[in-house]
Structure 1
Amino acid sequence: MEQCVLDLEVDVNGEDVFVVNERVVSSYSGKISRFVGKSEGVAHRLKVIFNDFPGGGECFELIARFCYDKGKVIITPLNIFKLTCAAHFMEMDSLSDLTEKSLQEVRYWSWHELLTALKQCQELLPRTGSLALLDKCLDSLIGRVASSCETSPSPSVSSSDGSGFRLSCDTRSTESLKSSAFRATWWFEDLVALGTDLIRMLIKLMVAKNFDHVIISRFLLYYQKSRFASASADEKAKIIEVVVDMLESLDSRCVSYRSLFGMLRVGLNTNLSQCTRDQLEGMIGSQLDQATLDDLLVPSPVGTSCLYDVNLVLRFLKSFLGKGVCCVPLSRLRKASALMDLFLAEVAPDPHLKPSKFLALIIALPDSARDSCDGVYYAVNLYLEVHSGLSEDQKMKVCRGLTYEKLSPQVLDHLTRNAKFPPKSVVQAVASQQHKLKSLLQDKSHALEAVNGGSKQVVLYAKKFNLTDENEKLKAHLQGMQWRVVELEKVCRKMQVQMTKVMKSRMASHNSAKSIPRLCS
Structure 2
Amino acid sequence: MKFMKLGSKPDSFQSNGSDIRFVASDLATDVVVHVGEVKFFLHKFPLLSKSSKLQKLVLQATSDGTDEISLPDFPGGPKAFDICAKFCYGMVVTLNPYNVVPARCAAEYLEMTETVEKGNLIFKIEVFLNSSIFRSWKDTIIVLQSAKNLLPWSEELKIVGRCIDSIAAKTSVDPSNVTWSYTYSRKMNLTDEIVETIDRRIPPKDWWIEDLCELDVDFYKRVMVAIKSKGRMSADLIGEALRAYAVRWLPDRYDALVGEDYAKRNRVMVETIIWLLPSDKGPSGCSCRFLLKLLKVAILVGAGEGVKEELVYRISILLHQASAKDLLLPVRSSEEDGVGANTIYDVGLVIELVRRYMARNGDVHCEDEKEMIELSFERENLLALGELVDGFLCEVASDPNLGIDSFVELATAIPEMGRPIHDGLYTAIDIYLKEHPDMTKSDKKRICGLMDVRKLSTEGSIHAAQNDRLPLRVVVQVLFFEQQRTATSTPLPGRLNSILEESDHDPAPQPVDPQPISLTLSKEERQRSKARNSMTSLMTGRVANRADRLLLPSRSRRIFDKLWVGKGERENGKGESETSGSSQSPPVSTKTGEVKSLGSSRNRRYSVS
For this structure pair, what is the TM-score category when the shorter chain's length is used for normalisation? 0.5 to 0.7
Do the aligned residues in 1 keep the contact of 2:408 with 2:450 (CA within 8 Å)? no
Q: Name the residue aligned to 2:75.
A: 54
Q: 1:205 to 1:350 in 2, by over 3 A?
A: same
1:142 Cα offset (Å) = 3.2
Q: 1:253 to 1:236 in 2, by over 3 A?
A: farther
Distance in 1 between the 2:64 and 2:303 partners? 57
Distance in 1 between the 2:58 and 2:354 partners? 66
Residue by residue over 1:205-252, the C-alpha shift from the partner in whole angstroms, topping out at 9 and shown as x without a partner, is: 222222133233334444554568999947987579637733652256
Paired amino acid for 1:153: T
1:45 Cα offset (Å) = 3.4
Q: Does 1:216 align with 2:244?
A: no
Do the aligned residues in 2 keep the contact of 1:299 with 1:307 (CA within 8 Å)? no
1:420 Cα offset (Å) = 5.7
Q: Does 1:318 align with 2:352?
A: yes
The SS at the match of 1:318 is: helix
Q: Does 1:293 align with 2:324?
A: yes
Distance in 1 between the 2:55 and 2:406 partners? 72
Q: Does 1:255 align with 2:286?
A: yes
Residue by residue over 1:469-510, the C-alpha shift from the partner in whole angstroms, topping out at 9 and shown as x without a partner, is: xxxxxxxxxxxxxxxxxx9xx99x98854453246599xxxx
Q: Name the residue aligned to 2:84.
A: 63
Distance in 1 between the 2:63 and 2:145 partners? 45
Distance in 2 between the 1:139 and 1:221 partners? 23
| Greater percentage in helix | 1
The SS at the match of 2:204 is: helix
Normalising by structure 2, we get a TM-score of 0.51
Distance in 1 between the 2:503 and 2:250 partners? 61
Distance in 2 between the 1:185 and 1:249 partners? 17
> What are the ranges of 5 or more consecutive residues in structure 2 without an aligned counterpart?
1-8, 10-24, 115-120, 183-196, 365-377, 478-487, 508-609
Q: Name the residue aligned to 1:461.
A: none
Do the aligned residues in 2 keep the contact of 1:321 with 1:327 (CA within 8 Å)? no
Matched length? 409
Q: Give the 5 Å matches for 1:314-393.
A: 314-319=348-353, 321-322=355-356, 325-326=359-360, 330=364, 331=378, 332-362=381-411, 365=413, 367=415, 370=418, 374=422, 376=425, 379-380=428-429, 382-391=431-440
Do the aligned residues in 2 keep the contact of 1:286 with 1:320 (CA within 8 Å)? no
Q: Does 1:500 align with 2:535?
A: no
* Structure 1 range deviating more: 57-66 or 230-239: 230-239
The SS at the match of 1:255 is: coil
Paired amino acid for 2:272: D
Paired amino acid for 1:310: Y
1:336 Cα offset (Å) = 1.9
Q: 1:77 to 1:336 in 2, by over 3 A?
A: same
Select the residue among 142, 146, 164 that pairs with 2:168: 142
Paired amino acid for 2:390: D
Percent of counterpart pairs with the same letter? Answer: 21
The SS at the match of 1:18 is: strand
| Greater Rg over alpha carbons, structure | 2
1:48 Cα offset (Å) = 1.4
Paired amino acid for 1:337: G
1:291 Cα offset (Å) = 1.7
Q: Name the residue aligned to 1:81.
A: 101
1:153 Cα offset (Å) = 1.5
Q: Give the 5 Å matches for 1:438-453.
A: none
Paired amino acid for 1:387: H
Do the aligned residues in 2 keep the contact of 1:84 with 1:129 (CA within 8 Å)? no
Do the aligned residues in 2 keep the contact of 1:348 with 1:379 (CA within 8 Å)? yes
Q: Does 1:42 align with 2:64?
A: yes
Distance in 2 between the 1:187 and 1:105 partners? 22
Do the aligned residues in 1 keep the contact of 2:57 with 2:69 (CA within 8 Å)? no
Distance in 2 between the 1:503 and 1:74 partners? 91
1:60 Cα offset (Å) = 1.0
1:92 Cα offset (Å) = 5.0
Q: 1:42 to 1:26 in 2, by over 3 A?
A: same
The SS at the match of 1:59 is: helix
The SS at the match of 1:54 is: coil
Q: Does 1:198 align with 2:226?
A: no
